[in-house]
Amino acid sequence: MTVQEICSCPVSRRALLAAGAAGAFAGLVGDQLATQLAFASPGYGGDVFVLLSLRGGFDGLSAVVPAGDPAYYAARPSIAVPKNRLIGGDSYFGLNPALAPLLPYWKNGTLAAVQAAGQPAPNRSHFAAMEELERAAPGTSVRTGWLDRLMGGLGASGAFDAVSVGSAMPARVYAGTSPDLGLAAVDELVLAGETEERSMAKTMAALYADAPDALARTTGMTTSALTTAAALKAAGYTPANGAAYPNTGLGGALKDVARLIKADVGLMSATVDSGDWDMHENLGTAVPGRRMYDNLNGLAKALAAFAQDLGPAGLRRVTLITISEFGRRVGENGSGGLDHGYGNAMFVLGGGVKGGQVYGRWPGLAETKLVDGDLAVTTDYRAVIGEILRARCELSDVAGVFPGVSASTLGLVRSR
């Protein structure tokens, strides 16, 4: 079952379309209703797992640059990042200078990258590739989202165990029977029609006081979430350690995730979106004012503020990863951009990360090494996530989340 906010934000297909309490729960019947709901989750001692989806097809070759591969510069004569501008990295790879706000975390070992990662088969359709990325069970009849399966495996049952934060609602990744909460922002979590004079939450509680157990529990979960959100709003929030989030959708969403983590509301997983990575034209050189540089810099500032806000102690119980539906082609097109590709880069940020390095087997960019002109995938993104979930999130059954997949042995995180 999905517990979804009712607010002034655009309504997703998972929203509870309600003007009042009765309407809010009219659709929660049959197979949409989880009968195993409880008011609180059992004790969870793993990391808060944060999924940051870079929607549109992120170009990992612009972010984690294979400077040691001469084919990279040959394929991108006008948009390649010059070697003398790269930061961090190692003897073969370097980071785009736009990622400078994250350099301290690379150097202190809490940020790492995985290159040549992606889905098991190429798919250049945004919709189809994202659907497969979030279902993560190709070749099977499984239709739930992989984060829903994770939450089920971990016994999630609380209102704030699994949360989508921001204006975009990644429905597929949480699709299924485990409860999750979607909110545009913590301070905007309200029921439609709520006023100081008219408490919709109290009305809902009264209406469902004598309802069947499953409905009563659903109502209790919703009113509990509203009460928690109201308390958080009343308390206000000031980021710690001098952290300054950028005034962007991503910055606001990550600030709310940090806020929920520090408030100990039971958060186990959170999803956040970052868009505008579909750069078919005018990707630009690695200087301020150019599209890719500015997007990467905005991403880096938001992630750096998130890590700074949590501080070392908070970051020790958090692992954040980035994924995207596909990478971009190796060669630039005639419009100074990049068309849809295949292999990609992932970032991993957290206190348990063995950072400061690039993981994965590099296949090379020579023409004979490419997959129809694209970077080959040598590491399944599901195996990377599986390694993290097993080592950091108390998941013993990786195949239960990702059918037919074993956790990678990259060694990119320490066990708790």
Output the pLDDT for position 395.
Answer: 96
* 237 part of a folded domain: no
- CA 264 → CA 44, 179, 388, distances in Å? 12, 18, 22
* 20 part of a folded domain: no
Q: 392 or 180: which carries more pLDDT confidence?
A: 392
Output the pLDDT for position 219.
Answer: 73
Output the pLDDT for position 286.
Answer: 97
* 76 part of a folded domain: yes
How far, rounded to the nearest angstrom, does the alpha carbon of residue 70 sit from its chain's CA centroid?
33
> At residue 64, does pLDDT exceed 60?
yes
> At residue 234, does pLDDT exceed 80?
yes
* 200 part of a folded domain: no
The two three-digit tokens of residue 416, written as one number? 């708790």
* 29 part of a folded domain: no
Q: What is the mean pLDDT of the chain?
A: 87
- The continuous run of DSSP H or E covering 181 comes out as strand 181-183
Residue 114 phi/psi, 5-degree rounding, is -125, 125
CA atoms of 347 and 358, how far apart (whole Å): 9
Q: 203 or 401: which carries more pLDDT confidence?
A: 401
Where residue 62 sits, what CATH number does that domain have?
A: 3.40.720
The two three-digit tokens of residue 243, written as one number? 């952290």
> At residue 6, does pLDDT exceed 50?
no
* 207 part of a folded domain: no
Output the pLDDT for position 158.
Answer: 87
Q: What is the mean pLDDT of residues 327-343?
A: 98
Output the pLDDT for position 24.
Answer: 26
Output the pLDDT for position 9.
Answer: 33
pLDDT digits (tens, 9 = 90+) for 34-57: 323 333 456 899 999 999 999 999
Percent of the chain with pLDDT over 70: 85
Domains identified in the chain, total number: 1
Global pTM? 0.89
Three-class secondary structure of residue 52 per DSSP: strand
Output the pLDDT for position 400.
Answer: 97
CA atoms of 277 and 160, how far apart (whole Å): 29
> At residue 389, does pLDDT exceed 60?
yes
Q: 217 or 264: which carries more pLDDT confidence?
A: 264
Q: 97 or 6: which carries more pLDDT confidence?
A: 97
* 323 part of a folded domain: yes
> At residue 168, does pLDDT exceed 70?
no
Q: What is the mean pLDDT of residues 294-301?
A: 98
pLDDT digits (tens, 9 = 90+) for 65-95: 999 999 999 999 999 999 999 999 889 999 9
pLDDT digits (tens, 9 = 90+) for 179-188: 888 889 999 8
Task: Read off the pLDDT band of 23 (50, 70, 90).
Answer: very low
| Residue 38 CB contacts under 8 Å (≥ 6 apart), including other chains | 157, 158, 217
Q: Which domain holds residue 150?
A: 40-186+245-401
> At residue 12, does pLDDT exceed 50?
no
Spatial contact of 269 and 148, defined as CB atoms under 8 Å apart: no
Q: 341 or 207: which carries more pLDDT confidence?
A: 341
Three-class secondary structure of residue 316 per DSSP: coil
Q: 170 or 357: which carries more pLDDT confidence?
A: 357
59-68, 222-231, 278-287: least confidently modelled range: 222-231
pLDDT digits (tens, 9 = 90+) for 117-134: 999 999 999 999 999 999
Q: What is the mean pLDDT of residues 245-262?
A: 97
* 226 part of a folded domain: no
Q: What is the mean pLDDT of residues 321-333?
A: 98
CA atoms of 260 and 241, how far apart (whole Å): 17
Q: What is the mean pLDDT of residues 231-249?
A: 96
